Amino acid sequence: MSMDKARAVSSPPPRIHATVSSLQNWALWQEKPRVIAYCLLTEIIAVFLTVTLFFQSTVTGRDFLILLALLGLGVLQAELGRQVERLRRRVSGVAHINMTSVWIFAGVLVLPPALTAVLTATLYLHLAVRSWYRLQRTPAWRTTSNAAVLILTCFASYTTLALTGVDGMRGALGLGWTGAGVIAATIATHFVANALLVIPARNTIARSVTGLFGSPMDNMLETATLCLGTLNALTLATLPGLTLLVLPPLLILHRGVLVKQLEVAATTDAKTGVLNTAGWHNRAEVVLERARQRDRSLGTLMIDLDHFKQINDSHGHLAGDDVLRAVATAIQHEVRERDIVGRFGGEEFIVLLPDIGERDAMAVAERIRAGITRLAVEVPGTLRPTTIDDLSASVGVAMYPESGGELQELLDAADTALYMAKNNGRNQVIRVGALGMAEERLAS
């Protein structure tokens, strides 16, 4: 046998080569080891439990009919809401809101666990193919991981029902207020379990409550979908034909989310995610009026990056945008959730600190200044990544009511302090008093 023929016999078929290459190029392998391990673990557990429960469950023809009804309505709702979701995503860029809990949580209350897992997997498969694929090229591993987490969330909800001995919605109907309490506990279990199970799958785990569990609006939306899911299950257990009535309010709720996102987009700086000038002014005026009524003090910080033009000139404007995003994140990390952070264009940021004294306001300003100096921003390059780590900022501080009684007066006073810091060598914090003179200085 010739050498060429030997190679031909020993070489794997091209299709196997392509499959191995495809597996090696999966986007999942680019994630952190912690994320990879967690996603694979949740998927394995979800599949194992689904198969096990399927063989342990008694599935009736009615169950299959309910499964088909929930699948059909879930797909119909996703299709009818695609145009709204496409517009919402175009203006806001935030994560896809699929509202599948309306159908999946209804499945928890009226279907055996294995069929609810099938319902979840099928709805997410449809979303991946028809919605997410066209709206944003979400990696397949992310969709699969989300489905696995939601399946485990459903199994946690079933655990609550099992511990109370209630057979879903049909069992709760005969127990009066006790049954209502069990359903409420199941809703709470579903909400909490989903919030906790999602956290380890994130690339970056935030430290704040909002970063971990979402904004109040996100949680209100999830609660609303779970409530609709409960009503959906109630109709399926009593008068199944009425489940069609869930669809119109769900579509209206989706449009309401779009309206809210339009409002947020109109007041948010696209580059950094903090408030833009108009949004900051609107929020600041409300907080200032509250301070007047309650006779409280507040602080205003004007922050300007030093020598930012050199970053744009040396590394390009895209690198400058990366730096601005990193600075915005650093500022938000050093303030409270109720403090108001905005970008006034260019490299200038503004922070309003309600209910704070002079010393504390200066301490916050100094933490922000120091935090910016510690930043190391990695910027992708054509040959190799570049790290920008020589950042600094000058900060001007003004206090209400000492530095002014109106918002523009506070801004002018903070701006005056900022330029004093610039003229005195940069990378420092200066506060001005009522006469526009520097009263306190924190230099690097």
Backbone angles phi, psi at 395, to 5 degrees: -130, 130
Tokens of residue 120, six digits = 């979840």
Residues 177-204: tens digit of each pLDDT = 999 999 999 999 999 998 888 888 776 6
Max mean pLDDT among 41-55, 128-142, 214-228 falls in 41-55
Q: Name which residue leads in pLDDT, 116 or 7.
A: 116
Q: Does position 292 have pLDDT exceeding 60, yes or no? A: yes
Helices 247-266 + 82-92 axis angle, to 10: 20
Mean pLDDT of the residues in the chain = 82
User: Which pTM was predicted?
Assistant: 0.61
Predicted confidence band of residue 391 (pLDDT cuts 50, 70, 90): very high
Question: Looking at residues 349-362, what average pLDDT do you find?
Answer: 94
Q: Name which residue leads in pLDDT, 212 or 75.
A: 75
What pLDDT score was predicted for residue 85?
65
What pLDDT score was predicted for residue 262?
66
What sign does the dihedral 14-19-23-27 (CA atoms) show?
positive
B/e letters for 240-267, b = 16+ CB within 10 Å, e = fewer, are eeebeebbeebbebbeebbeebeebbeb
**C-alpha 214 chain-centroid distance:** 6
- The C-alpha atoms of residue 124 and residue 142 are separated, in whole angstroms, by 11
* Lowest mean pLDDT across 16-20, 31-35, 60-64, 220-224: 16-20
Tokens of residue 230, six digits = 């409960």
- The C-alpha atoms of residue 422 and residue 179 are separated, in whole angstroms, by 67
Can the peptide bond before residue 240 be classed as cis, meaning omega within 30 degrees of 0? no
What pLDDT score was predicted for residue 209?
61
* Lowest mean pLDDT across 202-206, 276-280, 284-288, 427-431: 202-206
* Lowest mean pLDDT across 180-184, 245-249, 338-342: 245-249
Predicted confidence band of residue 13 (pLDDT cuts 50, 70, 90): low
Question: Looking at residues 78-92, what average pLDDT do you find?
Answer: 67
The enclosing H or E element of 175 equals: none
What pLDDT score was predicted for residue 8?
43
- The C-alpha atoms of residue 138 and residue 311 are separated, in whole angstroms, by 32
Residue 103: CB atoms within 10 Å: 30
* Lowest mean pLDDT across 1-5, 132-136, 230-234, 260-264: 1-5
Tokens of residue 386, six digits = 């570049």
What pLDDT score was predicted for residue 69?
93
Tokens of residue 164, six digits = 């109370």
Q: Name which residue leads in pLDDT, 367 or 134.
A: 367
What pLDDT score was predicted for residue 94?
45
Question: Looking at residues 123-127, what average pLDDT do you find?
Answer: 86
Output DSSP code: residue 437. -
What is the helix, strand, coil percentage profile of the chain, to 5?
Answer: 65, 10, 20
- The C-alpha atoms of residue 150 and residue 143 are separated, in whole angstroms, by 11
Tokens of residue 330, six digits = 């650093």
Among residues 148, 186, 151, 153, which one has the least CA distance to residue 167? Answer: 186
Q: Name which residue leads in pLDDT, 143 or 369.
A: 369
DSSP string, 272-332: TSSB-HHHHHHHHHHHHHHHHHHT--EEEEEEEETTHHHHHHHH-HHHHHHHHHHHHHHHH
Tokens of residue 37, six digits = 């391990």
Helices 33-56 + 113-126 axis angle, to 10: 130
- The C-alpha atoms of residue 331 and residue 33 are separated, in whole angstroms, by 29
The enclosing H or E element of 346 equals: none
What pLDDT score was predicted for residue 349?
95
Please identify which residue in the block is written with the tokens 């992708």: 380
Find the angle CA(32)-CA(94)-CA(71) to the nearest 5 degrees: 90
Tokens of residue 119, six digits = 């319902």
What pLDDT score was predicted for residue 7?
43
SS3 for 369?
A: helix
Q: Where are the alpha helices (DSSP H) in 25-95?
A: 33-56, 61-80, 82-92
Q: Does position 83 have pLDDT exceeding 80, yes or no? A: no
User: Which percentage of the chain shows pLDDT scores above 70?
Assistant: 78
- Domains observed in the chain: 28-266 (no CATH), 277-443 (3.30.70.270)
Determine the number of helices (DSSP H) and then strands (DSSP E) in the chain.
19, 8
The enclosing H or E element of 131 equals: none
Backbone angles phi, psi at 301, to 5 degrees: -115, 125
